[in-house]
Amino acid sequence: MKKVEINHLLDAGVHFGHLTSKRHPNMSPYIFMEKNGMHIIDLNKTKAKLDQALLGLKKIAKTGRKILFVATKKQSKFVLEKYIKDVNMPYITERWYGGMLTNFVTIRKTVKKLDIIDRMKEDGTIQTLSKRERLQMERDRAKLEKYLGSISEMNRLPAAIFVVDILREKIAIREALKLNIKTFAMVDTNSNPDLVDFPIPSNDDASKSIDVILSYVFGAIEEGLSEREKELKAQKIQSEKREKETVDNEANQEEIVNQPNKNFKK
């Protein structure tokens, strides 16, 4: 797994917290000092917490389960979209729909409307509708694609969620906690780290800071996926080998049975 370098975190401004007046008391253990009315995050603590989070994310990815990423802030959504498609994980960058986790069955039914509309377009059924109905259906599809298209392949609840800014995504955190879904998050000095299973003390506002944290996160996930692929490949080879040995053994036994007994005399 890629080693976390404190210099990389420093260069990206991961250590810059919020104004001292906005400090959450539970973030005190992760604050190094106060400077010009702002809190400075202890990057040694950030590194330690990031290492723990990376190990956890890698283990989940290695099992083949999904990790849902939530980053709806403008400066975070574009960074997330840069990495996410390489690992085929679900993500939300527009708006969190209330009940996306706690009312997952209903959300899945809504997402299925995308497939229904697409099938109607493919088989030409949509052409039997009036122009007004087709226009409304296209608008509905565009809206669904924008807000829910990124989770269209998520057929069951994720094993974990990763959040950028837990204050902005507080509903997502609340729903995950209610369902005992593991939570990973970038947590700034104005937030409560105790709400998250794997908090990463860091600047969750600057795009450079978000970028460097996510680069480590997705590196760990890619490594977990790669190890999973190798293990599955090895298992497949082993299975084919055992199958071949079984076939060969059966063939040998059949050959022995069918051989004439040379010692047999009439």
Q: What is the pLDDT of residues 108-124, one digit of tens each?
A: 888 888 888 888 888 88
Q: Are residues 163 and 151 part of one domain?
A: no
The answer to whether residue 261 is domain-embedded is no
Buried b (16+ CB within 10 A) or exposed e, 102-138: eebeebeeebeebeebeebeeeeebeeeeeeeeeebe
Q: Are 150 and 162 part of one and the same domain?
A: no
pLDDT digits (tens, 9 = 90+) for 132-183: 888 888 888 888 888 887 888 888 999 999 999 999 999 999 999 999 999 9
Confidence of residue 262 (pLDDT cuts 50, 70, 90): low
Q: Do 15 and 117 reside in the same domain of the chain?
A: no
Q: What is the percent of the chain where pLDDT is above 90?
A: 64
Note whether 65 and 81 are same-domain residues.
yes
Which residue, 226, 197, 200, is CA-closest to 61?
A: 226
Are 165 and 137 part of one and the same domain? no
Rounded distance, CA 121 to CA 107, Å? 22
User: pLDDT tens digits, residue range 43-73?
Assistant: 999 999 999 999 999 999 999 999 999 999 9
> 145 and 66: one domain?
no
Q: Is residue 22 part of a domain?
A: yes
Residues 207 and 79: beta-carbon distance below 8 Å: yes
Please enumerate in sequence order all residues whose Cβ is within 8 A of that of 221, keeping only pairs 6 or more positions apart, or say none.
57, 58, 61, 67, 87, 89
* Residue 138 and residue 39 share a domain: no
Average pLDDT, the chain: 90
Whether residue 89 is found in the same domain as residue 123: no
Burial class of residue 144 in the structure, from the number of CB atoms within 10 Å of its CB (0-12 exposed, 13-18 middle, 19+ buried): middle
Positive or negative torsion for Cα 129, 132, 133, 137: positive
Confidence bin at 228 (pLDDT 50/70/90): very high
Task: Please report whether residue 254 resides in a domain.
Answer: no
184-212 pLDDT, tens digit per residue, is 999 999 999 999 999 999 999 999 999 99
Does residue 92 sit in the same domain as residue 108? no
How does pLDDT run across 11-48, given as a tens digit for each residue?
999 999 999 999 999 999 999 999 999 999 999 999 99
pLDDT of residue 260: 63
Band (pLDDT 50/70/90 cuts) for residue 266 is: very low
Count the domains in the chain.
Answer: 2
Share of the chain above pLDDT 70, in %: 96
- Is 235 in the same domain as 113? no
pLDDT at 245: 74
Q: Which two tokens mark 39?
A: 């809190």
What pLDDT sits at residue 237? Answer: 85
pLDDT at 261 over 70: no
What is the extent of the structural domain holding 128? Answer: 102-155
Instruction: Determine, yes or no, domain membership for 256.
Output: no
**What is the secondary structure of 105-167 as a DSSP string?**
HHHHHHHHHHHHHHHHHHHTGGGGS-HHHHHHHHHHHHHHHHHHGGGTT--S--SEEEEE-TT
The CATH number of whichever domain residue 134 belongs to comes to 1.10.287.610
Q: Do 87 and 163 lie in a common domain?
A: yes
Question: With bands split at pLDDT 50, 70 and 90, how would you rate the model's confidence at 255?
Answer: confident
